[in-house]
Amino acid sequence: MTLTNSLESRLGYQLRRASAVMMADLGRELAELDLRPAEVTTLLVIADNPDCSQTEVGQALAIKRANMVPIISRLMDRGLVDRRRLDGRSHALTLTDQGRKIADDALARIDRHEARFAELLGRPDSEVLFRCLPVIRAARDVELDA
């Protein structure tokens, strides 16, 4: 009744399944904040880079310009992000006080979630992962726009 699956020996498949498990776990951790993963990551990038632009956030997160629009829009509607005109076409993004509070809370939750998995893996293996995953990304990081 348990099926064999030759995909189990493929790295891409294992990566996808592992990533799905961590995303689901993160989702549970963030559900109370009513924030989607894409919104949280956006919030954290703005926290790290006050006065950055929407396009820059997208570049940091591999999210296309067009797809940043509804994310920023929702964060502003909720009073977590503020923006200030720079020149006629670009904005400088910052967190509001509320946004900073939520970002801090989110980061604490992320780190609880991370700790659960780090403990599972142990120190030396974690280090290999942190060395290998960027190598995979660098192979051809998601190309933004065309």
DSSP 8-state symbol, 79: T
Q: Could you say which of 7, 69, 121, 132 contacts DNA (CB under 7 A)? A: 69
Q: How many helices (H) and strands (E) does the chain have?
A: 6, 2
Rounded to the nearest whole angstrom, what is the least distance from the CB of residue 140 to a copy of itself in the complex? 6
Name which of residues 57 to 96 contact a copy of itself (CB under 8 A). Answer: 57, 59-62
- Please tell me the distance from the alpha carbon of residue 13 to that of residue 11, in angstroms, as a whole number: 5
Name which of residues 81 to 120 contact DNA (CB under 7 A). Answer: 87-91
Q: Could you say which of 26, 33, 76, 92 contacts a copy of itself (CB under 8 A)? A: 26
Tokens of 83: 């923006």
DSSP letters spanning 76-87: HHTTSEEEEE-S
The amino acid present at 51, given as its one-letter code, is D
Which chain residues interact with a copy of itself by CB under 8 A? 1, 3-7, 9-26, 41, 44-45, 47-49, 52, 56-57, 59-62, 107, 110, 113-114, 116-118, 120-121, 125-126, 128-137, 139-142
